[in-house]
Amino acid sequence: MTPEIIHAALAAAREAADAAAEVIRHYWRRGVEVEVKPDATPVTVADREAERVIRQILQAALPQASIYGEEFGLDGERGGLMWLVDPLDGTKSFVRRTPFFSTQIALMDGNELVLGVSSAPIYGETMWASAGAGAWFEGERVRVAETRELAAASISIGNIKTLTVDSRWNALGALIRDSNRIRGYGDFCHYHLLAQGGLDLVIESDVNILDIAALAVIVREAGGVFTELDGAPLTLDTRSVLAGTPAIYRQALGRLATKA
């Protein structure tokens, strides 16, 4: 992709996130009925309408790209240029009137994530990034912290049910014990904090690529590292995350990757 195409695609993604925010704020004020999908996760009219407006904007801006969305699946073929869209990541929070949900929009070029927008309309934060152009929070460039010692590190965990029955559970406990503090901000929030220098490590084991693709671009462009828990690169089948400042990430990977 040329820099001009990436710039135009990023502008479209930000426009789409803003349009989705209008839909989400509308239903946040009104309240919604909740349906349960076949995978036992909730969905609302806000999820579906937000994805529709996102798709309209992205398709008009980059018609050669396919779109893979949380609510309406894949439009086009895998490979090449493909948008990854979760219009309302955190529906469970949304329906319980908790503002920890967001719109996630990323663009892949082959196997490479090239841009991402993360918008949390009720929480009041938007972050974005594109390959080689840095990570930005409300117009200000951000960087991860320079923390190097685990004893000084702040760790956030979320979606770790599968780790509770994994042999890495004890390794996670030791990692927490040796760190400075442990939190569970979850969803978009701990990745935003990581990219801005407020956290040093994020661990999750029950996610999908639509949840975290945009956030991966943001964290990486802020100078961080973002992989699966075992250090593997992200793919469309990703289900776990280890993300952090370079030094703390390396120490955590050394402990967790050998305990699976």
CATH number, domain at 123?
A: 3.30.540.10
Neighbours of 233 (CB within 10 A): 12
Q: Which domain holds residue 224?
A: 150-256
Listed residues 133, 168, 192: the one ending a domain: 133
> By the 8 A CB rule, do 195 and 219 touch?
yes
Based on the domain organization, do 112 and 43 belong to the same domain? yes
Domain boundary among 133, 167, 188: 133
CATH number of the domain bearing residue 164: 3.40.190.80
- Identify whether residues 25 and 68 lie together within a single domain: yes
Alpha carbon distances (Å) from 165 to 27, 205, 223: 38, 11, 32
Here the tokens at position 240 are 């776990």
Write down the pTM of the prediction: 0.95
Average pLDDT for consecutive 10-residue bins of the chain (260 residues)?
A: 90 98 92 81 89 98 95 90 96 88 97 97 95 94 97 95 89 95 93 98 95 98 97 96 98 80
Q: What is the number of domains present in the chain? A: 2
Q: Report CA-CA distances (Å) from 131 to 72, 120, 145, 168, 219.
A: 27, 22, 20, 32, 11
CA atoms within 13 A on the CB side of 41: 14
Q: What is the pLDDT of residue 258?
A: 60
pLDDT of residue 33: 81
Residue 145 lies in a domain: no
104 and 200 assigned to the same domain:
no
CB hemisphere CA count around 195 (13 angstroms): 31
Distance (Å, rounded) from C-alpha 27 to C-alpha 256?
41
Same domain, 123 and 46: yes
The answer to whether residues 98 and 187 belong to one domain is no
